[in-house]
Chains A and B, each alone.
Chain A
Amino acid sequence: MNRRLFNKNCVSIIGFSILAFKTKLVFAQISDNLQIGAKTVAKKIDPNTPPAVDNRTGFGLADINKTIQTITNGQNPNNSNLIFLNKINNEAPDGRRVPIEITTSLTKVQKIAVLFDKNPNITCAIFDFNETLEPYVATSIKMQQSGTLNILVQSNNQWFIAKKVVKVLIGGCGA
């Protein structure tokens, strides 16, 4: 055999095998990344999942108007400008934790309910107040997407409502 041809063939075979090995490694990495990607996708919530069943009054209902009617026991709440929503801006940077602070100059506050219409679980909380409590409550809620925050206040057996539209930049997981 020609010596030059033999050398040429040798080099090309070795070169090709190195290339093939590297490509294999790269493919392995890509498939690994793909698997990790699939796992992260699986972590996200499925919007079609129905809300969990909650038997308490005012909880676990799928419609905001129905929820309001149930909590107020059929009474239509009046709009009130005496309910103050402090700390709540028009934009919520992180829907996983939105701080809210509610105060009111309404007297004899018995109940305060916090509802967010775009959450799978609309009713965030219902607070029962004793007469020794100041009409003030602060907590943090989840917001899955932009929507309207509804605050219901029962004062002197009358129901009042205040609303605030909040734009959510990052949705809270499965609120």
Chain B
Amino acid sequence: MNEINNISIKAVEQKGITILKILIRHPMETGQRKDEDGKLIPINFINKITITTKNITIFTANLGPSIAKDPNLFIKTKALKKGDVFNIVWQTSSGGEKKQQGLVE
């Protein structure tokens, strides 16, 4: 788990196919929950995850607030081989953006 970005990435190549596992720590607030004082907790969720390698976007996920808290995402790709580097960028509905680099094992 990367402490600053709260992301955990695992990419392993097996027989030419890389399985990519991503877990991001995020509350995924729907904007409909209330706190102890009865005030609405403002909406805040990850709305986009993009995976790029060698300047090519291989996968885009447009997410809604209906995705569970601490979203996980599993995909399989032929574009990544052992030793390849890829970038994961995720954006939140409140306008935040974070990046993390990953390496295929």
Contact = CB atoms under 8 A, between A and B. Distances in A.
B8 interface: no
B69 A43 contact: no
Residue with the greatest number of chain B CB neighbours at <10 A, chosen from A39, A120, A130: A130
Interface in B51-99: 56-69, 71-79
B38 A42 contact: yes
A133 B67 CA distance: 22
Contacts of A46: 32, 34
Interface in B7-29: 17
Contacts of A116: 66
B32 to A, nearest CB: 3
B64 A54 contact: yes
Nearest to A129: B59
B1 interface: no
Nearest to A136: B76
Contacts of A136: 74-76
Given A98-B68, A138-B73, A128 B60 contact: yes
Contacts of B58: 130, 132-133
A128 B59 contact: yes
A139 B32 contact: no
A175 B62 contact: no
A37 to B, nearest CB: 12
Contacts of B78: 132-134
Contact of A125 (B32, B56, B61): B61
Nearest to A50: B32
A136 B17 CA distance: 12
Contact of B62 (A59, A122, A141): A59
Given A127-B59, A138-B73, A140-B71, A175 B66 contact: yes
B34 A97 contact: no
A124 B79 contact: no
Interface of A: 39, 42-46, 49, 52, 54, 56, 58-59, 96-98, 101, 116, 119-130, 132-134, 136-142, 172-175
12 contacts: A45-B32, A59-B62, A97-B68, A122-B66, A127-B59, A132-B58, A133-B58, A133-B59, A134-B75, A134-B76, A136-B74, A175-B65
